[in-house]
Structure 1
């Protein structure tokens, strides 16, 4: 059967449309492919008699025997949240209820209000919100707009909005070897941080060292071991929480 020009046109048109749609799906999957957690991170999500870890509607929660405060944590962009379990477990073992938030497409900007669900579960605790990289940006937006948040923890991040008029206690924790957040970028955005922000730099730590997910595009190699990096991030974050979270 001989095809008319009309039929040929539509065959070419729909064939091109199908090719374009397939290319877009492939590109989107490639671009949005997340960094998966290391096995050590999954092990850190297991419960013990001293620390309960359970899945929730918002992600996971680490519940110590007696919590003296809470930390709701947003993961970095395109990083599966489980990757932060090793550091967050260390914080929970020191007496803090820690909520590890799961967000759509592994992008915290898709669910900026997710921390509310975690705080509503334990409203009597003093709460901080925090996050890594893009998660830290979202945490700063949340902390600035939700009354009752007592402190802000930003790992390798700077605020999107100008928070300089706020007195919110803030920890800006940075890695010396970070290849994605340069000292120049931090200096450029320093005026946006809350006025009493504490800036701390961890020697030898890179951008990916805050979690357990391996090398990240654009990052520098770390000169600090993985376990030592996790210990140092947890220690400095705990010191900040101990000083700023006060029971009502």
Structure 2
């Protein structure tokens, strides 16, 4: 075998090895936190809430009068189904809740996805919300869409400066959150809308907003998962009751 042929065999072999390594690394880097069984169970319809798959994700529709809608962006690299236990509880309070599914489980890849959910029920007053990175994207959507009546941010803070807005906003945080850096949170405070309602849930950690298990860098929760989900839903429903009832 000639040296010339050996060179190209080694070259293309190395190229294929590099490409394979990059594919493996990318798949590992984008591997999401999987939704647990409790989340998948919460996606089943019953006499109180109808759940159906849609082109934008899933929608929870309560049986009875509907007060408004909430379009929800999942946290970064978290399977969206993981938020079903909390969102189902919110729907039981009379809200049409759209759980958005985004490419690569990263809400930044489809920041306008909430438009599809809102378009299905345009006559309702709508809020947008999200957890962690999803909350950041929700704040960007609210900033650029005047039809949004309220903003719900779980363990998140705005990317843009929203301090000039009077948009009703719930900023819900977890006492045991080990993912959000305190200095970043403090620096972001001036960016929230003027009338932001800030609340902290005792014993809850960053991953406790969903059902996907422990998250890297997080602190242990001291509240049971179901109790945490109930508290998140209760506080979010109370906020929506007030924010979406305003003219």
TM over 0.5: yes
Matched, 1:125 2:128: no
Q: Deviations over 1:108-161 (max 9, x none)?
A: 000000000000000010000000000000000000101110000000001111
Matched, 1:207 2:183: no
The answer on whether the counterparts of 1:206 and 1:220 sit within 8 Å (CA) in structure 2 is yes
| Deviation for aligned residue 1:49 | 2.1
Name the counterpart of 2:14: 16
Please show how residues 1-248 of structure 1 align to structure 2 within 5 Å. Answer: 3-65=1-63, 66-246=65-245
Change (3 A) 1:145 1:47: same
Q: Deviations over 1:62-90 (max 9, x none)?
A: 00122110000000000000000000000
User: What TM-score comes out, normalization by structure 1 length?
Assistant: 0.97
Question: How many residue pairs get matched?
Answer: 246
Distance (Å, rounded) in 2 between the aligned partners of 1:27 and 1:183: 30
The answer on whether the counterparts of 1:133 and 1:157 sit within 8 Å (CA) in structure 2 is yes
Q: Secondary structure at the match of 1:28?
A: helix
Please provide the CA RMSD for this pair. Answer: 0.9
The answer on whether the counterparts of 1:34 and 1:78 sit within 8 Å (CA) in structure 2 is yes
User: What TM-score comes out, normalization by structure 2 length?
Assistant: 0.98
| Deviation for aligned residue 1:187 | 1.1
Listed as ranges, the gaps of 5+ residues in structure 2 are none
Distance (Å, rounded) in 1 between the aligned partners of 2:69 and 2:109: 23
Q: Deviations over 1:9-42 (max 9, x none)?
A: 1111101100100100110111110011110100
Distance (Å, rounded) in 2 between the aligned partners of 1:163 and 1:23: 42
Listed as ranges, the gaps of 5+ residues in structure 1 are none
The answer on whether the counterparts of 1:125 and 1:247 sit within 8 Å (CA) in structure 2 is no
